[in-house]
Chains A and B, each alone.
Chain A
Amino acid sequence: MERPGYYGGFGGAFIPEILVATLEQLRVAFEQIKNDPSFWKAFQSLMSTYSCRPTPLTYSENLTRHFNGPHFYIKREDLNHTGAHKLNNVIGQGLVVQRMGKSRVIAETGAGQHGVATATMAAKFGFECMIYMGEVDVARQRPNVFWMEQLGATVVTVRDGARTLKDAINEALRDWATNMDTTHYVLGTVCGPHPYPEMVAYFQSIIGSEAREQMLGQVGRLPSRVYACVGGGSNALGIFQGFLGDSEVELVGVEAGGKGLKSGKHASRLASADGSVGVAQGYKTYFLQNDDGQMLETHSVAAGLDYIGVSPILAAYHEQGSIRFEAATNEEVLEATRLTMRKEGIIPALESAHALACVFREAPQMSADDVILINLSGRGDKDIFTIADALGDESWKRFITTKAEAYSA
């Protein structure tokens, strides 16, 4: 039998000795809540009153017609409170923090969605909150920085390394190694040392269990395929868990293809040939790294997918062949964003639009009877600057210029 925290040879807990006792405390607390039937009820109840779970399953009639079938169904995590699936994990960990009696939470964030969710949870539960965010991401996800600060969190700009998500994780780990007595590290995805991958997957499984029930109840059948974007992998693993036992359902994870897999400027650890097995940030998985084991700079238009590693759980499914991994380029993603806005009146986050882009690429080859389920992990309001830039919107530029002039006057 594999050791706890291992998935087909991936995962583990590669951590400095100073953090061993703290991770053990977390592991024990997580075991307790898993074995406590009242916990999941309390979690669900909070998520249905503080947020709006279950999030709806939307039949996308116009997209279906546009592609002449297959039938498109969208799981609406964009309608979760704070605008993404991130809150599921954060509220779950918040309840664990209460049980452990800690008073301060820290988190890394890329797109800012996990940071906003953590700041929200900290405000609600009364925790002190500090968010680490790479300088590149601070610049491209400014609206979320504003909201984190308004929610009472301190946002620390990380200027080391590539100044993106991985560097924010390193900085959060350093904080934790110093302040673990009072502080819990709310890791935002299914990565990092054991028990994080298992714990985050557990909280995010709420997406998949709802979606499965909704497919059977609303549609009367299981989907032929389920698509989700993959950064660290938490929304993907969240929805996939609802269908892992169903051999007739194909699961497709979509990574950031950036400027194309041959350009070297992407974040596809599994879909490209560039990823290799390594150990960093506390766990073993596929990383984008050089022959020496130094991590490479990644690239994606979506900050939340712009990351060197991928969930060890997904790496294991990748090797087993039970999940297929694809990549979508920046260009395809912007096109998919535009089409989804126009056809369905839904503004997807650039991260989530990766799943849509892959669906749009593959839909023409599918039969009109096929049913597709897409996890729309987050809403795109936060990406207003990036999308406006990419679309070259002139009236937006004039607005920003006028606004800047007013500030500097």
Chain B
Amino acid sequence: MLEDYIRQRLKERGILLMAHVVVGYPDLEASFELVKAIVVAGVDLMELQIPFSEPIADGPVILKANQSALAAGLRVDDCFKFAHRVTQSFDIAFLFMTYYNIVFKRGEDRFFAEAKAAEIRGTIVPDIPPEEGESYLAAAAAHGIAPIFILSPTTTPDRLAYLAGFGRGFFYCVARKGITGAKTTFSSELDEFLGRCRKVTQLPLALGFGVSRKEDVDFLNGKVEIAVVGSQALRVLNSSGVEAAGSFFRGLR
């Protein structure tokens, strides 16, 4: 169970780190090296993004990585094989992040069955609200994989309560409006938002969108259970390579 894994890890540290890797960027071997460097640096969870041609919730940095991987011929099959390889090699929790069409086209049951076989623990699919996700949720439940839902500052209290009913593993809270990769000013408004989330769920909370420095992680320590670092790590990878990306994560604690 993903939640148990998180609670267990939390006994050892105040806040967990979740990293994000676009599978096949810059290529499959390099993304394996990247996963390795980041795991060694001590992250606790990792999103493996299966690239999609229309990633509407992602900003320019992750968008370009998606396109580059696809342009090099990456297939969804490759992503499942990759997932299997990393879960056999590293002892942290891995999740799939992608968009719904990738799940839909593979067939929901097949997608989750194969994800289970690859020892994936959860899925983050930003464009499948529960209203549209009856069969998606059923397939996830059938295979014991946690479908992670997103809570946003624009989500109404009624809807937070509604979403809470579908939660497994943890909730992914977005720190602000917008897409991945833009700057976030962390402020007291965040406390109010997290307070609203705590009211509706006992599950651990992860916070993402704009978490890019040690100061951000320190600020979040005690407020949420998981800090999510996505685009900034990709920027470091793009400018300075795999080892630098590992050092970047080491520097966040």
Q: How far is the CB of B6 from chain A (nearest CB, A)?
A: 21
Q: Which of A3, A15, A18, A279 contacts B177 (CB 8 A)?
A: A18
A170 within 8 A of B: yes
For A22, what are the chain B residues with a Cβ–Cβ distance below 8 Å? Answer: 154
CB contacts under 8 Å to B, within A9-44, are 12-22
A278 with B54: CB separation less than 8 A: no
A18 with B152: CB separation less than 8 A: yes
Q: How far is the CB of A286 from chain B (nearest CB, A)?
A: 13
B76 within 8 A of A: yes
Assuming A16-B126, A21-B155, A160-B63, is B131 touching A173 (CB within 8 A)? Answer: no
- Nearest to A21 among chain B residues (CB) is B154
Q: Which applies to chain A's interface (DSSP): helix, strand, loop or mixed? A: mixed
B127 with A16: CB separation less than 8 A: yes
For B57, what are the chain A residues with a Cβ–Cβ distance below 8 Å? Answer: 16, 18, 177
A295 with B178: CB separation less than 8 A: no
A278 to B60, CA, bound (A): 24
Q: How far is the CB of A386 from chain B (nearest CB, A)?
A: 26
B177 with A177: CB separation less than 8 A: yes
A292 with B100: CB separation less than 8 A: no
Number of A-B contacts (CB under 8 A): 111
For B63, what are the chain A residues with a Cβ–Cβ distance below 8 Å? Answer: 160
B154 with A20: CB separation less than 8 A: yes
A16 to B84, CA, bound (A): 28
A180 within 8 A of B: yes
For A294, what are the chain B residues with a Cβ–Cβ distance below 8 Å? Answer: 52-53, 70
B159 within 8 A of A: yes
For B179, what are the chain A residues with a Cβ–Cβ distance below 8 Å? Answer: 174, 177-178
A281 within 8 A of B: yes
For B67, what are the chain A residues with a Cβ–Cβ distance below 8 Å? Answer: 160-161
For A14, what are the chain B residues with a Cβ–Cβ distance below 8 Å? Answer: 100, 127-129, 132
Q: Which of B54, B99, B132 has the most CB of A within 10 A?
A: B54
- Nearest to B173 among chain A residues (CB) is A17
For B64, what are the chain A residues with a Cβ–Cβ distance below 8 Å? Answer: 160
B105 with A173: CB separation less than 8 A: no
A345 within 8 A of B: no
A105 within 8 A of B: no
B102 within 8 A of A: yes
For B60, what are the chain A residues with a Cβ–Cβ distance below 8 Å? Answer: 160
A15 to B100, CA, bound (A): 10
B75 within 8 A of A: yes
Q: Which of A20, A179, A281, A291 contacts B129 (CB 8 A)?
A: A20
For A278, what are the chain B residues with a Cβ–Cβ distance below 8 Å? Answer: 101, 104-105
Q: Which of A12, A15, A280 contacts B101 (CB 8 A)?
A: A280
Interface residues, chain B, CB within 8 Å of chain A?
52-57, 59-60, 63-64, 67, 70, 75-76, 99-102, 104-106, 126-129, 131-132, 149-152, 154-156, 159, 163, 174, 177-179, 182
Query: 20 A–B contact pairs at CB < 8 A?
Result: A14-B127, A14-B132, A17-B126, A17-B152, A17-B174, A18-B154, A22-B154, A160-B64, A161-B53, A161-B54, A170-B55, A178-B177, A179-B177, A276-B105, A278-B101, A279-B104, A280-B99, A289-B105, A293-B52, A293-B104
Interface residues, chain A, CB within 8 Å of chain B?
3, 12-22, 160-161, 166, 170, 173-174, 177-181, 276, 278-282, 287, 289, 291-295
